[in-house]
Each structure stands twice: as structure tokens, then as C-alpha cells.
């Protein structure tokens, strides 16, 4: 994490993705991906899990882990795909290819599954993290609607940010990680374990105080659709870039527009700069998801 402000293009931000899936044989999946992508593969012990991995041409590990929290389906345990550190569209295309193979082999996005997207925090400062939290909290219910986050997820693994904590951050404007931790968890020496329960917020900050140093979004519903996941990645990275590049903690005033479809258009284009033909698919995915959420009420 930086101690100064940077101006960044969100396309330059590094990220990682965890995709959960049910109903597919992990070994068959890894062997097929290895053959079609021309990657090597092997079995490793990772974090106490029996893990299969693909090794890409630059030596990065794409891990396929057994996940008992996912529904047992088609006589198969659940699988979690954990990507290496990624950057840019070429890496997203590899992820999309793996997901396409998984679907072909019978994998589904079961209701017990989810998607977690991590943004590298190296380009963030403490001030930009505080702005991110402020922006997210101000728009949180709307973001839930855009992503179609289920009540089940909001009540368990992707809880809303506590208002009193965010208000404290807005008031104090922390400049160090210790000050940020004191605002967020009332402990300036916060040193969370991997499974620390504080992580179960839509915006998980725990890794800022761990060696991983990422900011994680846990609000995404399960999907193995590569186009949707590409849109989710772009959306989350663009929000991070907005926080990094902004000069203050105030949310965009135009985000107060009441009509949801007008509000999302303003957020995506004027707020997050997801404009032009390049991001047409991203806008379509997110706006379609919002329409679906609103129609279900």
C-alpha cells in the first residue's frame, strides 16, 4: 500500500478471482484445461487442502481446490478455482476459457456458490481506501441491486458495512493503517487470521493487514458466464480506480438520482468512466442484472 496518491487506469490494476462451482470432476477439469490450454498440471498440498493446479507459460498457478461449503452434486464435491494474480483482458480471456470448459464438463453455478474478486491494494493509499469505503457505503444498497446480491448472501458472507464505522472513518480521515484499523475494528494492531469473521462484509478489508494485501468484493452471485464475470471484474476495478483518483471522500453527487436505470447509467459512465464500445458489454450485463433485480420485487 502506498503512502501517496496515484492516478491510475483501472485496466492497469492487478486482480485475482475465486470462482466456486458444483457438479464437475476436478481431475477431469484440470486435465481438459491442461490439454486445451497447453498448460502443465500437478497435485499440490496448499493450505491444508488437496489441490490440483495448472501452471501457465509464465509459471503462475491456477488452483482448483476442494470446497466442502459447496453443494455435493453429480457425485462430486464442490470446486473453487483460485486464479493467480492477473492483469488485463488477455488474462480474463484465459479465465473465460477455463469457465467455458467447466460448463462443458457439467459444472454449474449452484446457489451455494459465489464469486470473490480481489483488487491489488498496492496502488491504494490509506486515504484512497477510506474513500473507497465511503463511496461503497453510500452506494451499497444500489450495488447490491446491480449485482443481484441475494438476501442469503447479504445476511451471511457479504454483510453491509456498519454505518457507524464508516461515519467514523469519514470524520477522522485516517492516514495510517493503524488509524484505519482503529476506525474499522477498534484495534490499531489488527492482525486478522484468514477466517477472521470481520471478512464477511461485501467489501472485505482484512487482507490489508495480511501479507496478501488485497481488497475483496464478496457480493457477487454465482456465475460461470465469462461475459458476466468480465463485467464484474471491470466494475469492481473501476470503483477502486475512482477511489484512488478522487480528491476527497464525498460520493458523486449525481449518484443521488432517484430513478434506478438513470442512476446506474450515470454511475457507470460519468462516475466509473465505463464508456464507449469497449465497455458496452459491461454496461449491458450490469444494467440487465439491475432490471432483473427490480422486476423480482
Residue 66 and residue 187 in one domain? no
Residue 203 within a domain: yes
Phi, psi of 67 (to 5 degrees): -135, 105
Grid coordinates in use for 280? 458496452
Residue 138 and residue 231 in one domain? yes
What pLDDT digit, counting tens, does each position of 215-230 carry?
999 999 999 999 999 9
Residue 10 within a domain: no
pLDDT at 255: 46
Phi, psi of 66 (to 5 degrees): -70, 135
Q: Which residues pair with 215 in a beta bridge?
A: 119
pLDDT at 81: 98
Which of the listed residues 108, 138, 155 is the one where a domain comes to its end? 108
pLDDT tier at 4, thresholds 50, 70, 90 = very low
Residue 176 and residue 274 in one domain? yes
Residue 267 within a domain: yes
Residue 32 and residue 144 in one domain? no
- On whether the CB atoms of residues 40 and 61 are closer than 8 A, the answer is no
Query: Is the pLDDT reported for residue 207 higher than 70?
Result: yes
- On whether the CB atoms of residues 172 and 183 are closer than 8 A, the answer is yes
Secondary structure of 219-269 in the HEC alphabet?
A: EEECCCCHHHHHHHHHHHHHHHHHHHHCCCCCCCHHHHCCCHHHHHHHHHH
Which of the listed residues 89, 108, 127 is the one where a domain comes to its end? 108
Residue 193 and residue 79 in one domain? no
pTM assigned to the model:
0.94
Residue 196 within a domain: yes
* Rounded Cα–Cα distance for residues 244 and 79 (Å): 34
Residue 157 and residue 289 in one domain? yes
Residue 190 within a domain: yes
pLDDT at 48: 55
Domain count, the chain: 2
Residue 137 and residue 277 in one domain? yes
8-state DSSP, 44: E
Query: Is the pLDDT reported for residue 250 higher than 60?
Result: no
Structural domain that includes position 178: 119-295
pLDDT tier at 47, thresholds 50, 70, 90 = low
pLDDT tier at 254, thresholds 50, 70, 90 = very low
What pLDDT digit, counting tens, does each position of 75-100 carry?
999 999 999 999 999 999 999 999 99
Query: How much is the average pLDDT of 127-136?
Result: 95
Among 208, 228, 210, residue whose Cα is nearest residue 220: 228
Residue 191 and residue 240 in one domain? yes
Q: From the DSSP assignment, how many helices (H) and strands (E) are in the chain?
A: 9, 8
Query: How much is the average pLDDT of 161-180?
Result: 96
- On whether the CB atoms of residues 232 and 147 are closer than 8 A, the answer is yes
* Average of per-residue pLDDT values in the chain: 92
Residue 15 within a domain: no
* Rounded Cα–Cα distance for residues 75 and 56 (Å): 29
Query: How much is the average pLDDT of 141-160?
Result: 96
Residue 97 and residue 210 in one domain? no
Query: Is the pLDDT reported for residue 256 higher than 60?
Result: no
Amino acid at each position: 500500500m502506498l503512502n501517496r496518491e496515484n492516478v491510475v487506469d483501472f485496466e492497469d490494476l492487478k486482480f485475482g478471482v475465486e470462482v466456486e462451482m458444483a457438479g464437475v470432476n476436478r481431475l477431469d477439469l484440470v486435465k481438459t484445461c491442461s490439454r486445451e490450454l497447453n498448460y502443465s498440471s500437478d497435485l499440490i498440498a496448499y493450505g491444508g487442502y488437496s489441490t490440483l493446479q495448472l501452471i501457465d507459460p509464465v509459471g503462475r498457478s491456477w488452483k482448483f481446490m476442494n470446497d466442502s461449503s459447496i453443494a455435493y452434486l453429480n457425485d462430486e464435491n464442490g470446486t473453487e478455482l483460485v486464479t493467480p494474480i492477473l492483469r488485463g483482458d488477455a488474462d480474463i480471456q484465459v479465465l473465460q476459457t477455463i469457465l467455458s470448459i467447466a460448463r462443458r464438463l457439467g459444472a454449474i453455478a449452484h446457489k451455494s456458490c459465489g464469486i470473490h474478486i480481489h483488487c491489488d491494494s498496492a496502488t491504494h493509499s490509506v486515504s484512497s481506501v477510506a474513500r473507497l469505503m465511503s463511496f461503497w457505503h453510500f452506494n451499497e444498497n444500489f450495488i447490491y441491486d446491480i449485482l443481484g446480491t441475494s438476501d442469503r448472501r447479504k445476511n451471511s458472507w457479504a454483510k453491509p458495512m456498519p454505518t457507524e464505522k464508516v461515519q467514523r472513518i469519514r470524520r477522522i480521515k485516517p492516514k495510517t493503517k493503524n488509524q484505519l484499523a482503529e476506525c474499522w475494528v477498534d484495534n490499531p494492531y489488527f492482525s486478522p487470521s484468514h477466517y477472521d469473521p470481520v471478512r464477511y462484509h461485501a467489501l472485505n478489508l482484512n487482507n490489508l493487514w495480511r501479507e496478501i494485501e488485497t481488497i475483496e468484493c464478496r457480493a457477487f452471485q454465482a456465475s460461470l458466464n465469462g461475459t458476466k464475470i468480465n463485467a464484474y471484474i471491470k466494475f469492481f476495478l473501476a470503483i477502486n480506480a475512482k477511489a484512488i483518483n478522487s480528491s476527497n471522500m464525498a460520493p458523486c453527487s449525481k449518484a443521488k438520482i432517484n430513478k434506478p436505470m438513470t442512476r446506474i447509467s450515470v454511475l457507470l459512465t460519468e462516475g466509473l468512466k465505463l464508456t464507449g464500445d469497449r465497455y458496452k458489454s459491461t454496461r449491458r450485463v450490469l444494467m440487465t442484472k439491475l432490471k432483473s433485480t427490480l422486476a423480482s420485487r
